A and B are shown apart, each in its own frame.
Chain A
Amino acid sequence: MSSDRPVYESIRSRRAVRDFTDEPVSRGALERILRAARWAPSAGNRRLHKFVALEDAQAIARIKAISPGMFGEPPVLIVICTDAEQLARENVKDHDTSTMVDVGTTAMCMMLAAHELGLGTCPTTSFSAGGVRGALNLPDHLTPDFMLQVGHAKPLPPGGGGGTKLTIDEITHWGAYPSD
């Protein structure tokens, strides 16, 4: 099936970027990425998130120090926080699986928006939530669930990138899961 829509190509060509150049990200680009987050699927249209966008190198370095999953030095870092007050308003009893799905869909929209702008991103979940709370002075009702590193990607070394992709047959069972 062919399409003149570039979405599939964007999905296919996006990579996790762990090495960034020093080139800054424009505020306009950053705002476009944040606007994309507003269009993400959200269960029940609950809109649970608050975002903290960091552009200051020293502030990002502080977060990196408490984030074992951060290896690069991105010029921008966006922290997706789930708002417990909004959870309460929506009668969501726990910060449960469905809320984490919302974090994921939001992050994916942001990564694709950045990719469209020629920016690289790296999803980051290996961080100390308590440490990030302290470093960002987050109120108790905000839980940092996800961090997105954003910047201009350094060229990959020869042979780098890609990675193994499973085939459809390896991951899909049509109709039902086969019995033994």
Chain B
Amino acid sequence: MSDQAVISESDALRILAYLTASADTQLFEPDIYGPFRLVEAASQLAGAVLDGEPTENREFWEGVRSSLEDNKFRVIWDRPGFREFVRETPREVAGELTRRDNDRTSA
């Protein structure tokens, strides 16, 4: 697990703005837009990490960013596929958490 700080304060502010604005718009927008906005925010977060040029775990961040970008607009044209993607993504991220915990334990 890397403790390297890679997100700039300005990127954090931009993501904060996006999340709080999404909380606002979600008061009146269709429910399915909630997961869509969170997927977009997650992609922005991964993009911000990559902009910080992390020296560790770059492959993971590139993979998750690519996956989020490639699948987010399925909310428009493939809603069942989008739901499946949303349900599967946490498993992959949790797998990364587990892998890193295991690496730390065995180190």
Contact = CB atoms under 8 A, between A and B. Distances in A.
Contacts, number: 32
Best-buried of B17, B29, B37, B40 by chain A (most CB within 10 Å): B17
Contacts of B40: 68
A65 interface: yes
Interface stretch (B19-27, B49-57, B83-91, B95-103): B19-27
A131 B17 contact: yes
B14 A128 contact: no
Nearest to B73: A71
Interface residues of B, number: 12
A20 interface: no
B41 to A, nearest CB: 9
Nearest to B22: A68
B18 A66 contact: yes
A127 interface: yes
B4 to A, nearest CB: 25
A24 interface: no
A130 B24 contact: yes
Nearest to A18: B73
A67 interface: yes
A126 B33 CA distance: 10
B18 A65 contact: yes
B46 to A, nearest CB: 16
Interface of A: 65-69, 126-131
9 nearest CB pairs, A to B? A128-B21, A66-B21, A65-B17, A128-B24, A68-B22, A65-B14, A126-B25, A66-B17, A131-B21
